[in-house]
Homo-oligomer: A and B are copies of this chain.
Amino acid sequence: MRVLGVDCGSTSTGVGILESDGRGTRVLHYGAIRPGRSQPFAARLEHIHRELERLVARFHPQSIAVEQVFQAYNVKSAMQLSQVRGVVLLAAARAGLTVSEYSALTVKRSVVGTGRAEKHQVQRMVQRLLALPGVPEPTDAADALAVALCHLREETTRQRLARNV
């Protein structure tokens, strides 16, 4: 099972690709897509979309996992994030990948064990769980790995439950 986790942002979109074979989880790639701030917004979206398509072509994930945009952001940044999210969902649909969305609460609960975890605790747990030498940088990449990890755990649970029914 391979998943591409994405942490949407118009100046930096974090990405992380994980593979799970049922026994363990392997990090295949992580980083951030950073279109130049001086570009028009449409060109930034195009840059993000093109890089996502490259990652999908290179790593062949079966699904994309994204965090739900938190509605309590200020409206302007929620709208900017949503435009990025639109092209992320489009990349998934064009490649025939499933899209799974998780709330920030679910990601924290899944990775740290509590929905009240701080951002740096999530990043530390991502490092530990994936046996990385340090906290993944940039932090957007760590956030993308967190949502990918959350997806693998939720998916494994769903599959176990389905088998027991």
List A residues at the B interface (Cβ < 8 Å).
40-43, 45-46, 49, 69, 71, 75-76, 78-87, 89-90, 92-94, 99
Assembled-state Cα–Cα distance A54/B81 (Å): 26
Interface class of chain A by DSSP = helix
Assembled-state Cα–Cα distance A42/B113 (Å): 30
Chain B minimum-CB-distance residue to A85: B83
Counting chain B CB atoms within 10 Å of each CB, the highest count among A43, A76, A86 belongs to A86
Instruction: Give the chain B neighbours of A41 by CB distance below 8 A.
Output: 89, 99
Assembled-state Cα–Cα distance A94/B71 (Å): 29
Question: How distant is A129 from chain B, measured CB to nearest CB, in Å?
Answer: 28
Question: How distant is A92 from chain B, measured CB to nearest CB, in Å?
Answer: 5
Check A45/B79 contact, CB under 8 A, given A40-B99, A99-B40.
Answer: no
Assembled-state Cα–Cα distance A108/B133 (Å): 58
Residue pair A90, B40 in contact (C-beta under 8 Å)? no
Question: How distant is A162 from chain B, measured CB to nearest CB, in Å?
Answer: 20
Question: How distant is A82 from chain B, measured CB to nearest CB, in Å?
Answer: 3
Question: How distant is A48 from chain B, measured CB to nearest CB, in Å?
Answer: 9
